[in-house]
Structure 1
Amino acid sequence: MGELVRKRVRVEGIVQGVGFRPFVYSLATGLGLAGHVGNDVHGVFVEVEGPASGIRRFLRMLREQAPPLAVVARISVADVAAVAETGFRVVDSDSTGSRAALVSSDTATCADCLGEITDPEDRRSAYPFTNCTHCGPRFTIVRDVPYDRPNTTMAGFALCARCEAEYRDPANRRFHAQPVCCPDCGPRLRLTDSGGVALQGDPLIEAVAVLARGEVLGVKGLGGYHLAVDATNSDAAATLRKRKHREDKPFAVMVASVEQARSLCAIDDAEQAALTSRRRPIVLLNRLPDAPVAPSVAPGNHQLGLMLPYTPLHHLLLRRFPRPIVLTSGNVSDEPIAYLDDDALARLGDIADAFLVHDRPIHVRTDDSVVRVVGGRTMPVRRSRGYVPEPVTLPWPFPQPVLACGAELKNTFGVAKGEHVFVSHHIGDLENYETLRSFTAGIEHFRRLFDVEPRVVAHDLHPEYLSTKYAAEVDGAELVGVQHHHAHIASCLADNGESGPVLGVAFDGTGYGGDGSIWGGEFLVADLTGFRRQGHLEPVPLPGGTTAIKQPWRTAVAYLAECGNLSPDLDVLQRNANWAEVAALSRWGRHAPPASSAGRLFDAVAAILGVRDLINYEGQAAIELEQLADTTEAGEYPVSISGGPVLRVRGSDLVRSVVADLRAATPLPVIAARFHNGLAAAVVDVCGRMRDSTGIGTVALSGGVFQNLVLLQRVTMLLDRNGFRTLLHSQVPPNDGGISLGQAAVAGALCRARR
C-alpha cells in the first residue's frame, strides 16, 4: 500500500446543510481512507489518511463530485503527521471561533423526497415536511451556525428511533440532515378557522374544499404566510383583492407542473429552467390569450408571474386541487409578509376564511423571489427565498467589515467581509413601521449569523431615508455616503465582478442627486470609487412633488408645458379638470421640484396616451405603457441632445412627437413603441459621445427602468451594433433591491484605495 500520508483539509463555501459531511464520509470510506470530517464556524474540516494515490483521488473528487447544493469556494490542504488511524468518522461540530461558514438557501423538494410523499407504501407518504440533505428549509429555520439541529427551529422536535437511525446511517441520504423528521416526530399540519380554532377532518382535504368553495385560504409556507384562492375563479380573486386592499397589482400563480404552466403562458427553454430550478422563483412570463385565469388575477397585464411547488405541502395541495391557485404574500397591501402565527391570525384573520398551518417556527420572514429572463439569462426583480443568504462573491477582499443599509424603497441591506457580500432578503418599503422593524431585526440576524461587526457603514445620501438615519446611529463605525445612481452602477459592476471604469446609464424613478436635486435619468462615467455626471435627461418639474409620482397626469401636464403643447382639447387634460392649476404649480420651484427622472418621463407618456392617470402600485403606468408597445414597430422619435461637458437629453422632444402622432390618430401601440425606440436611440447616442470623449467602450445598465424589456432589449441591441460591451444584472435586481450591493462595493473600494 505504500507509505501512509495524512492531510488536513479545509473546505469553505456553501458546505453546511447540503450533505457535504455525508459526501466526504462516503468518498473517504469508498477509497479506503481513514480520518474524520466535521462542521465548524468556517465550513467543513477534514483529516484524511491513507496511501498517497488515494489521497490524490480524494482531493480531486472532493471538488468534482460535490453534492448538488454545495458551492465549494475554496479548498486548502496542509500536511500533518500520519497516526495510523483506522476507520473514518463524522465528529461533533466545533462552534468556537469567528464565524465564516456560509448558510444555504431554502431549496425546493428534491425528486427523491417527492417520490416518497407520493408513494402510498412509504412511511413519509403524504407527509408535508419531508426533506433530506438535498432539499428543504435552510435559511428560514437557521438561528445560528454551525448548521446543526440545535441551532435551527427544528430543535424542539426530538428525533424518533427511525429518523435517528437514518440520521446516523452513512449510507442514507438523510445522514446528518438537520431538519430530518417524519409523521411520528416532526411538525404537524392543521386547519383552523379565521380565528385560529382547529377544524375537524384531514387538513389537506378540508383545505382543498375551502379553495373549491371559492374562499380564501391562508397557508403557512417556508418564509411566511401566503393567501390562496382558485386562480380560475373571478369572484374568489376579486374577493381576495378587495380584502387585501390590492387594487391592481398582479397576483402570483402557482401551478402543479410545467405542463400546466404551458397552458397559461408561452415558455422558452431558459424560462423553463428558471421555473424548475431548485430556487423555484416566481417567473414573469407572457400570458397566452386564452389562458384560463380569472381577469382579476392580473388585471390589464399581458404577463403572469408563475411558480412551481417548492415544498411538499404545496405539492400535496396541488395534487388534490386540479386548477392553478393564486399564492400571494400574506399581508395587507404595503405591509411585510406575516410569519409569526399569532401575528398572522391578527393581521390576516379578516382576509382568510381558513388557515392551513403547522407548528414548525419560521425564524426569518422571506418573500418569494421574482425573476424574468432576458436574452437567455435570469434577471432578478426581487431576490429573496431560494437565493438568500448565498453571497455575491467579489474578486477583491473587503479590508474592513461593511454594513450597507440600502435604499428606502424595495429595501435590502448587505453585510460584507472577506470576499463576500451577503445581500439580504427583500425587506420592502421602510416607510412602513413593521417593515422598518424587519429591517433592523434582519441586520442583527445577519451580523450574528456571519459574525460581522461593521467598521464601515454605507448609506444613501438622502438625509430623510430611514436607512440613512439608521446608519447614523451605528456606534463606532465610519459612515460612507454613496450617491443613489452611483450605487446602481456600482451594483451592476459588482454583479459582474468588475471595478470599471464604465459608462453607466442609471434610469429610475427618483434618487437624491449629488447636487441635492432629484435625479433619475443619469449618464455617468464611473468606477467603484467615484463617478462623474456626464449627462442626464433634461429636468422637468414634478407638480406637487411626491404627489406627482402617484398621479402621472401631473407629470404629463409638466411635460406638455415644457414642449408647448398645453392644449385643452387633449384627452389627458379633459380628464383632469384642474390641469391649469397644476400647470401653474409647475412654475413654482418649491412645490414642483425639477427632476431628471426617466421613470417620470414614462409616467407622463402613459398618461398622455390614456394608459394610466393614477397608479395603485409603484411603476404601474410604466409597466402598462411597456405592455402597450408594438414590438414589431421599428420607427422612433427624434431626441435632441445638447450641452457640454454635461449633456442634456430633451425628453420633451419625445412627448412632442407623442402628441403629434396622437393627433394624427396613429395607433397607440405604435406610438408607445416609437417612444421606447426613440429613448433607446438617445441612450446609445449619448453613450457614443461619451465613448468619444473618454475612450471607454463598456456600458453598465442599471436602475428600475431597465426592468422594462422593450427598452432594455432595444438598448442592448443598439449598443451591440455600435461596438459596445454591455453589463447587465444577473445576481441582484437592477432596481433599488440591488442598491445595498453597490453601496457595499463602493465602501470596500474606498477602503482599499486608502490602503
Structure 2
Amino acid sequence: MRPFIHRLASRLGISGNVRNSRRGVEVQLHGTGAALEQFYHSLRQEPPPAAAIDSFDWQWQIRDPRQSPPAPGFFIDSSSIGGADQGQSTCPAPLPDLALCDNCRDEFNDPANRRYQYPFISCCDCGPRWSMITALPYDRSRTTMSRFPLCRQCQREYDDPDDRRFHAESIACPECGPQLNYVAAQSPNSAAGLASNSPPPLEQAVAALRAGQIIAVQGIGGFHLMVRAADLSAVQRLRIRKQRPHKPLAVMFGGLAQVAGWCELSDQERSWLTHPAAPIVLLKKLAGCDPRQIIAPANDHLGALLGYTPLHQRLLDGLGEPLVATSANRSGEPIETHPQQAMTRLAGIADGWLFHDRSIVHAQEDSVIRVGGHDQLPPQILRLGRGLAPLRLPLPEGPPVDPIIALGGHLKCAPALATGSQLVVTAPIDDLSSQAAVERFADSVADLRQRFAGGAEARMLVTDLHPEYATTLWAGQQVSKWAGLQPPVLQQVQHHHAHVAAVMVEHGLQGSVCGLAWDGSGLGSDGDLWGGEALVCDLQHSRRRVTLRRFPLPGGEAALREPAQILWGLLQRQLVGGQISDAEMLQLTGLSSEKHQLLLQMVKRGVNCPWSTSTGRLFDGVAALLRLVDSCSFEGQAALALQQQAESAHNSGEQAGVVAFMAEQAEMERSSASPAGGLQVIDWWPLLAGLISAVRQHEQSQPLALGFHHALADIALRMATICGQSRVVLAGGCFQNRLLLKLVSERLQRAGFEPYYPQRLPANDGVLAVGQLAVARVGMYGANTKQPLAQPAFLEQEL
C-alpha cells in the first residue's frame, strides 16, 4: 500500500509522507483541495490489486498562509511501533500471503531476466507476508527476510519509487535471497542438495516425483506432501502412509488449461483459481478424470488449486502434469512448518524433502471455497486459510474494548482477538486432540496478543461450555497459574449461540433474530449434545425455541465413526415401543446381535451414552439407512455421501415426485410438534419412517437423499415460523451443504423471511471464536443495539 500511495501522491503533485503503524497505514498530505480530493477518490476507487481497505479516518485542515510551506516531495517514513499507537482503537491490518502475480510470472519465465526460474521471486503485489511476519508494523526488519541482506541491485529496486519492488519487503534474487535444499529419506542427515556432485535440489525433487516417490515440499504456510496425480499407485501409497483412506485430496495444477482437462470450469471458478488468495476451489469432475476414484473417492467434486508460488510453478513445469498436494502432517497433528521437524515427524511418510531457508512464522493451510453452479448463491468459504486469513472484521456498535481473546472449539479451532472496535480471526487448527496441536494453538493465542494487541494482556478469555474441549482446559490452566496482578475473566458462551452470533457479526446484524443452528454437536445448557436448534437471540441473550427430538448416541464420540450405530440410536425409541422388532433393527442397521445387545445395555445404564438433537447425526443415520457408508474415517464423511446422492438427483431433475412424497411426511412432522415447557420439539420420526418404507420397497437412494434434504428445508421453515422473527440466520456446519443451504434459503425467502448465512467466514466451528467474542463483548460492556431483543410471549413466561 505504501508504494502505491507514494506513486499516487507524487503523480498528483502532493507532498507529505506515508508510514506503517500498528493501526494501519498513516498518511500526511499537503496539496490543493482538488489534488487531495482526487487522491481520496483514486484510493477509494482504484486501490492496489490485493489491497483491502476496511476504513478511512480523514482529518482535513486548511494551512495558515503565515506558516512555512511544507517540504516538497513525498516520502515513505520509518514505521511507528510505539508512542501514541499503544492507545490504538483498532487492531492492525492483517497482511495475507499472496500468490505469484502475472508480472513476476513473466519475469520468472524470461531467460533474460536475472530472476529467471528463481523460486522466491516476488514484488509488492505478491509473495509471502503473514507467514513471515515476526512483528508489526510490517517492515523487512520485522520479517524472516531480515536475515537476507539485499544485494546492490535489489537495494536499488527497493529504493526506487518507480520500481514495482519499491519497499517490497519480500524482495530477493538468486544472489542475496533464500535458497533451496533437497534431502532424500535414505540420507536424512546429509544436505544432498548442496553437495557439489549432486544435481540441483529442484531437479532431484522432480526426478523423485517422476519415480513415484512422495515428496514433502515447503511452501508459504507449511509443507505439502506431493505425488504425481496420474500415478495412482503413488497416490494410494500416500493414503496408506498418511492413514487417510477416504478423505478427498487436493490437486495442484500448472495452469487453467490443465484444470479444464480434469474439471468443469465456470467464469467465477476461473476467477477464484487465479485470485491472489489462490484457494483450493471445489470443482465438478469431468468423466474419467479420477480413475478408480482414488483422489476424491465417492465424490463428484475435486479440490483444485493452481501453483501459487514460483517453487510450485517450477515443480509443475518440470513435470508437465498436475500433483496431488495435501497437508504434510501425521493424522491428527498440525501441518509441518520447520524442515528439521518435518524430516523427523514425516519419516516413513515422505521419501524426500524439498525445503528452503526462509523460516515460516505462521502456519497456514490452504483456503478452501466452493462456488455454485446455477444455484445463485455466493461462494462459500469452507476453510479460512492462507491468502484469506487472518481476517479482520468490525465489531458491532459499542464502546472500544480492551483485548478479549476467544478460543473457539475443539475442532477447526481458530482463536480470535477483539481490541478497540475490531476483531481478527486466525486460520484454524483442524483438531486439538494431539499435544503438538495444543502447542500450536497456544502459540497462535500468544501471537494474537503480540501482533494485534501490542502484547497487552487479555482482560477476558472466552471458551465453549464443553468442559473437555482442549480450549476450555487450556483457559483454566492459564488462570490457575496466572502470575500477574489480575487474571483474565473466564467467560463461557454456548456453542450454538456463538455460531449464530458469528453470522450476525459478519452481516452487521443487531437486535433479535431467529438462529437455525444445525451442526454435528455442541454442548447445550441442559447437558445434551445439541445440533438441531432454533434460537431466538441477539448478541446478549439466547433462548432455545425449537429443537429436534432427542435420541441416544451410544458410544458418544466413537459413534461418529460408525453411522449404523447412530441409526440404531435413532430407531431405539421405536424398538422400546414395539414398533420395530430386534430382527428388524438388525436388518436396518446391519449390526451384529452382539453389538445390538451391547448398545441396549449402554442406553439402559446410561454409560457413555449422551443424548443428542443433532441434525448432523441425523444425516449420518440416514446415510447408514441408505447403505452409503459402512464406517467413517474423516469428519462429515457420511453426510457428504448423502449430499452427493441428493445433488445428483437434483441436477438430473428427479425432484418432482420425491418432493410430493416428502411433503406428506413434512405435514405429518408438523402435526407432531408439541410444546414442552415453552420449547417446541419437532419429531423427525415420520420422515425416517417414510424413508424406511421406501428402502423396504427398494427405492433408489438418490431421490430418497434429495427428499430428505427437502424435508429438512420444510422443518427449517417450520422452525422459523414458530420463532416469529423476520431475519433468520443459518449457522453451523450443516449449512456447508450447498444444496441444503439453497433449499432452506429459497423456502424462507418465498415465505417472506430474510435469510443470512456465512459468506466471508466458514459455517463450521472455525467461526466459534468470532461469535464468542461478540457475545462476551456485549456481556462485558453492556448491550448497545439499535433494536431491543423482541420478547415473544413464550419468552416472557419463561423469564
Question: By how many angstroms is 1:54 displaced?
Answer: 2.8
Query: Which amino acid in 2 is paired with 1:445?
Result: D
User: C-alpha deviations, 1:588-617, integer Å up to 9, x for none?
Assistant: 334322111111111111112111232111
Tell me the equivalent position of 1:748: 777
Deviates more, 1:298-307 or 1:577-586: 577-586
Which structure features the higher share of helix residues? Answer: 2
**Hey, what's the Cα distance between the residues in 1 that align with 2:768 and 2:43?**
36
Q: Does 1:534 align with 2:515?
A: no
One-letter amino acid matched to 2:475:
A
Q: Bigger shift: 210-219 or 265-274? A: 265-274
Q: Which moved more, 1:29-38 or 1:331-340?
A: 29-38
* More off after superposition, 142-151 vs 74-83: 74-83
User: Which whole-Å CA distance do the structure 1 matches of 2:497 and 2:95 have between them?
Assistant: 30
Following TM superposition, by how much is the alpha carbon of 1:395 offset from its aligned partner in structure 2, in angstroms? 4.3
CA shift, 1:353, in A, is: 1.1
Q: Using the TM superposition, give the Cα deviation of residue 121 of structure 1 relative to its aligned residue in structure 2, in angstroms.
A: 0.8
Q: After superposition, what is the alpha-carbon deviation per residue over 1:223-258, rounded to whole angstroms, capped at 9, x for unaligned?
A: 111000011111010000011111111111111122
Bigger mean CA offset, 173-182 vs 38-47: 38-47
CA shift in 2, pair 1:34/1:683, >3 Å? closer
What residue is the counterpart of 1:648 in the other structure? 681
Choose which of 677, 685, 688 in structure 1 pairs with 2:710: 677
> What is the match of residue 427 of structure 2?
425
Quote the residue 2:790 is aligned against: none
Counterpart in the other structure of 2:795: none
Q: Deviations over 1:265-286 (max 9, x none)?
A: 2232322222221111111222
> Which residue matches 2:39?
58
- Alignment of 1:711 with 2:740, yes or no, is yes
Q: Does residue 74 of structure 2 align to residue 88 of structure 1?
A: yes
Q: Show the counterpart of 1:524.
A: 535
1:560 is the counterpart of 2:571: yes
- Once residues 111 and 297 of structure 2 are traced to their aligned partners in structure 1, the CA distance between those partners, rounded to angstroms, is 41
CA contact (8 A) 1:504 1:701 kept: yes
**Whole-angstrom distance in 2 between the partners of 1:65 and 1:580:** 66
Deviation at 1:187, TM superposition (A): 0.4
Distance 2:655 2:122 in 1: 50
Are 1:610 and 2:596 an aligned pair? no
Instruction: Say if 2:691 is the partner of 1:658.
Output: yes
Shift of residue 311 of structure 1? 0.8
Aligned to 1:193: 184
2:284 matches 1:286:
yes
Counterpart residue type for residue 68 of structure 2 = V
Question: In the TM superposition, what is the alpha-carbon distance from 1:550 to its structure 2 partner?
Answer: 1.8
- What are the ranges of 5 or more consecutive residues in structure 2 without an aligned counterpart? 785-799
Point out the structure with the larger strand share. Answer: 1
**Where does structure 1 lack aligned partners over 5 or more consecutive residues?**
1-19
1:686 partnered with 2:719: yes
Indicate if the aligned counterparts of 1:217 and 1:352 stay in contact, CA closer than 8 A. Answer: yes
How many Å separate the matches in 1 of 2:614 and 2:383? 22
* CA-to-aligned-CA distance 1:381-434 (integer Å, 9 cap, x gap): 111111112312234254332111100111111001122211111112112111
C-alpha contact 1:37 1:90 (8 A) present in aligned 2: yes
**Structure 1 position 150 matched with structure 2 position 150:** no
**8 Å contact 1:281–1:307 — kept in the other structure?**
yes
Equivalent residues in 2 for 1:26-37 (5 A)?
26-37=7-18
State how far apart, in whole Å, the 1-side matches of 2:50 and 2:635 are. 35
Instruction: Tell me how far apart the structure 2 counterparts of residues 143 and 272 of structure 1 sit (CA, whole Å).
Output: 34
The 5 A counterparts of 1:327-346 are 327-346=325-344
Matched residue SS, 2:147:
coil
How far the C-alpha of 1:584 sits from its partner, in A, is 4.3
Deviations 1:292-350 (A, max 9, x none): 55622112222111111111111221122222210000011111001011110001121
Instruction: Give 1:406-485 correspondences, 5 Å limit.
Output: 406-451=408-453, 452-472=456-476, 473-474=478-479, 475=482, 476-485=487-496
335-344 vs 606-615, greater mean Cα deviation: 606-615
Please name the residue that 1:74 is paired with: 56
Count of residue correspondences: 732
Bigger Cα displacement from structure 2, 707-716 vs 558-567: 558-567
Kindly provide the CA deviation profile for residues 499-524 of structure 1, in whole angstroms up to 9, marking residues without a partner as x. 24111111111111011222111111
Does the residue aligned with 1:723 lie in a helix, a strand or coil? coil
Q: What is the aligned partner in structure 2 of residue 585 from structure 1?
A: 602
SS in 1 for 2:340: helix
Structure 1 residue 196 displacement after superposition: 5.1
C-alpha distance in 1, partners of 2:126/2:137? 18
Residue 376 (structure 1) shift: 4.0
Equivalents in 1 of 2:107, 2:581: separation in Å? Answer: 68
Q: Report deviation, 1:169.
A: 0.4
> 1:204, CA displacement in angstroms?
2.4
Distance 1:576 1:196 in 2: 51
> Which residue in the other structure is 1:380 paired with?
381
Matches within 5 A, 1:108-123: 108-123=99-114
SS in 1 for 2:698: coil
CA offsets, 1:474-494, max 9 Å, x none?
Answer: 452222211001111111111
Segment of structure 1 superposing worse, 570-579 or 447-456: 570-579
8 Å Cα contact 1:406-1:467 kept in structure 2 = yes
Residue matched to 2:391: 390
TM-score by length of 1: 0.94
Once the two structures are superposed, residues 112-154 of structure 1 have per-residue CA deviations (whole angstroms, 9 ceiling, x without a partner) of 0011101111111101101111111000000001111110000
Contact 1:35 1:89 in 2 (8 A): yes
Shift of 1:28: 2.2
What is aligned with 1:222? 220
Give the corresponding residue for 1:3.
Answer: none
What CA distance in whole angstroms lies between the structure 2 residues aligned with 1:333 and 1:146? 36
- Corresponding position of 2:617: 600
Contact 1:372 1:380 survives alignment (8 Å): yes
Q: Is the 8 A contact 1:568 1:574 kept in 2?
A: no
Structure 2: how far apart are the matches of 1:32 and 1:573?
77
SS for the counterpart of 1:63 is helix
User: Which amino acid letter does the alignment assign opposite residue 59 of structure 2?
Assistant: V
TM-score for both structures, normalised by structure 2: 0.89
- Give 1:754 deviation, angstroms: 5.9
Identical amino acids, percent of aligned pairs: 36
Q: What amino acid sits opposite 1:425 in the alignment?
A: A
**Per-residue deviation, 1:579:** 4.1
1:400 alignment partner in structure 2: 402
* Runs of 4+ with deviation above 6 angstroms: none
Give the distance between the partners of 1:158 and 1:294, measured in 2 at CA.
50
**Worse-matched range after superposition: 456-465 or 66-75:** 66-75
Q: Cα offset for 1:650?
A: 1.3
Pick which of 144-153 and 609-618 moved more: 609-618
Corresponding position of 2:119:
128
More displaced stretch, 34-43 vs 570-579: 570-579
Question: SS in structure 1 opposite 2:13?
Answer: coil
Between 43-52 and 345-354, the greater mean CA deviation after superposition: 43-52
Give 3-state SS (helix, strand or coil) of 2:141's partner: helix
Contact 2:396 2:510 in 1 (8 A): no
**Higher deviation after alignment, 715-724 or 193-202:** 193-202
Which amino acid counterpart does residue 567 of structure 2 have in structure 1?
A: A
Cα distance in structure 2, aligned partners of 1:125 and 1:585 = 66
Q: Is contact 2:564–2:591 with CA below 8 Å preserved after alignment?
A: no
RMSD, aligned α-carbons: 1.9
